Amino acid sequence: MNIRSLLPALMLGFSADLSAQSTLLLTVHADRGEHTISRHIYGHFAEHLGRGIYGGIWVGEDSSIPHIDGVRKDIVEALKQIKIPNLRWPGGCSADEYHWMDGIGPREQPPKMINTHWGGVTEDNSFGTHEFLNLCEWLETEPYICSNVGSGTVEEMSKWVEYITFEGESPMANLRRQNGRQEPWKVKYWGVGNENWGCGGNMTAEYYAGEYRRYNTYARNYGENRLFRIVGGPNVDDYHWMEVMMKNIPTGQKNGVSLHYYTYPGDTWGKWGSAIDFDETDYYRTIARTFYMEELVSKHSAIMDRYDPQKRVKLIVDEWGAWYDPHPGSVIGFLEQQNTMRDAIVAAVNLNIFNNHCDRVHMANIAQLVNVLQALFLTNEEKMIRTPTYHVFDMYQVHHDAVLLPVTMPVKMLADDRGMTFPQVSASASKNAEGKIHLSLVNTDLSETIALTCSLEGTSGFTGEMGQIILAKNIQDYNSFDQPNQVVMYEFTDFQMEDGLLTVNLPAASIVTIALK
């Protein structure tokens, strides 16, 4: 180990254990780039849930908190920095009880709604279709609207599409104009219901597939707006659900099927485990369960391959992330939790999995954007902090729309206390339009530094340009309103590129991205 590999540890005050080191030989197949990593894999999700919208995004036009027409300025600016590619709204479970017409028209008039799923609170519907789509325009991000199948009607969804996207004379387009918006918006991504096996109507797969076909028929393409139609997909490992969606809905009637999977260390759903008060056992359980995403994506893709070998129908992982016990003192149904270095690792591992499956995975949406579950931001009145997860999205934006380069490595396997095994290292690599290669690495091991040697197959002449790292003193470290920069991204220099070989000393429990040009 050279002295440079100790620098991050010394800077952070670690007592580095020199004996805890392993080696790894890794190959980036720079000549085998075939598929593009859609930027939509780096997508987000904002639901009418707790302080996710109200307080987190929307503060209203009369607020003293700096805002753009009622939307928090700090959030808009931070999202622009990470080039947010899409935003899913209004749910989640909320989508299947959201009636969009309640959220349009003069602000004094909209009827209030009870958010029965999330805390039973009353919302005033002041954030509706116009506010959401205006926000997406400021962010230059693609809106992804999830419509109401569980408690809605075919007519309601059909009119929503007309209201938003029709440019000619029609009752809905005229109503939109009456409400202040002349030109139609472009909305490509539409979900037909959410979790229709559960909160979205407790339907059987066969029943939902029939409903999907009916709803989908009346959701029209107006003008140049082409809908990308997303089927409400399976929960976790419900392979039967996926099978029915692929079999009962013709390929030409759908563009994507969604998948939901959350990670938690606890023994059962409802006892998820603490977000900050966790030990090594909880940590490894969380990481082992994060890697389960690899199996889920592979097995669901294999089913899709049988019906759609050309991969025209995409897998849309539109809810993923860590789910823990609610933050002590918060409203139970608001799903508020802190976010530590462990969660940064959860995010990076998931994103590497999605990158590596980009032939089938077109979009993914971490749950959720602000104040809910594995959030990128936490707010408290006028204060806002970026969580460690935010910094992962910042680091990984280099992969947006870049060509995936396959990575192979004989990786060491670790196991949690329940015997669930997972790789010590997770990696993905891509080449961007300027020809730069980015290699992202996650060392999931809490104690071993990894001396990694990487060859770039099928190419030459690359030199190391820069490196970035996310590493905390303790795996439990998080950003708080008092200490907002405990876990951040900073420059990483402990790598060398010589004679076509890249060597990296990858610290324990770290996330690193290296740029080569």
Q: Does 319 bind ligand AHR (CB under 6 A)?
A: yes
Q: Does 203 bind ligand AHR (CB under 6 A)?
A: no
Q: By CB under 6 A, name the one of 37, 93, 246, 351 that touches ligand AHR.
A: 93
Q: Does 219 bind ligand AHR (CB under 6 A)?
A: no
Window contacting ligand AHR (CB under 6 A); options: 87-95, 400-408, 470-478, 503-511: 87-95
Window contacting ligand AHR (CB under 6 A); options: 105-113, 308-316, 367-375, 419-427: 367-375
b/e per residue, 10-30, with b = 16+ CB within 10 A?
eeeeeebeeeebeebebbbbb
Q: Spell out, one character per residue from 368 to 407, where the chain touches ligand AHR: x when CB under 6 A holds, - when not.
A: x----x----------------------------------
Residue nearest ligand AHR (C-beta atom): 92
Q: Does 325 bind ligand AHR (CB under 6 A)?
A: no
CB of 146 to ligand AHR, least distance (A): 9
CB of 194 to ligand AHR, least distance (A): 5
| DSSP β-bridge partners for residue 385 | 378
**CB atoms < 10 A from the CB of 169, how many?**
8
Dist CA 399 CA 383 (whole Å): 30
Q: Does 211 bind ligand AHR (CB under 6 A)?
A: no
Q: Please report, as a single letter, which amino acid is at residue 248.
A: N
CB of 111 to ligand AHR, least distance (A): 22
Dist CA 147 CA 93 (whole Å): 11
Question: Between 286 and 368, whose beta carbon lies closer to ligand AHR?
Answer: 368
How is residue 128 annotated by DSSP?
A: -
Note if 319 is an active site residue.
yes
Window contacting ligand AHR (CB under 6 A); options: 73-81, 90-98, 172-180, 246-254: 90-98
Q: Does 193 bind ligand AHR (CB under 6 A)?
A: no
For the chain, the C-alpha Rg in angstroms (whole number) is 23
Dist CA 376 CA 389 (whole Å): 6
CB of 41 to ligand AHR, least distance (A): 18
Window contacting ligand AHR (CB under 6 A); options: 13-21, 59-67, 366-374, 507-515: 366-374
Dist CA 42 CA 323 (whole Å): 19
Q: Does 191 bind ligand AHR (CB under 6 A)?
A: no
Query: Of the residues 195, 211, 294, 448, which is catalytic?
Result: 195
- Is residue 216 within 8 Å of residue 229, measured between CB atoms? yes
**CB atoms < 10 A from the CB of 35, how many?**
17
Tokens of 208: 């939902």
Q: By CB under 6 A, name the one of 194, 338, 352, 505 that touches ligand AHR.
A: 194
Note if 156 is an active site residue.
no
CB within 8 Å of 186: residues ≥ 6 apart: 165, 224, 225
Interface size with ligand AHR, residues (CB under 6 A): 10
DSSP per-residue string spanning 220-273: ---TT---EEEE---BTT-HHHHHHHHHHS-GGG-SEEEEEEEE--SSBTTB--
Window contacting ligand AHR (CB under 6 A); options: 91-99, 292-300, 309-317, 469-477: 91-99
Q: Does 367 bind ligand AHR (CB under 6 A)?
A: yes
Q: By CB under 6 A, name the one of 8, 55, 56, 92 that touches ligand AHR.
A: 92
Query: Of the residues 211, 294, 319, 336, which is catalytic?
Result: 319
b/e per residue, 94-115, with b = 16+ CB within 10 A?
bbbbbebbbbbbeeeebeebeb
Question: Between 194 and 444, whose beta carbon lies closer to ligand AHR?
Answer: 194
Q: Alpha helix locations (H) across 308-328?
A: none
Q: Does 70 bind ligand AHR (CB under 6 A)?
A: no
Helix 239-248 vs helix 205-217: crossing angle, to nearest 10: 40
Where do we find the tokens 């001396």?
451
Q: Does an H or E element contain 379, and which?
A: strand 377-380
The residues assigned a catalytic role are 195, 319
Kindly list the residues in this chain that would bind ligand AHR in the complex (CB under 6 A). 47, 91-93, 194-195, 319, 367-368, 373
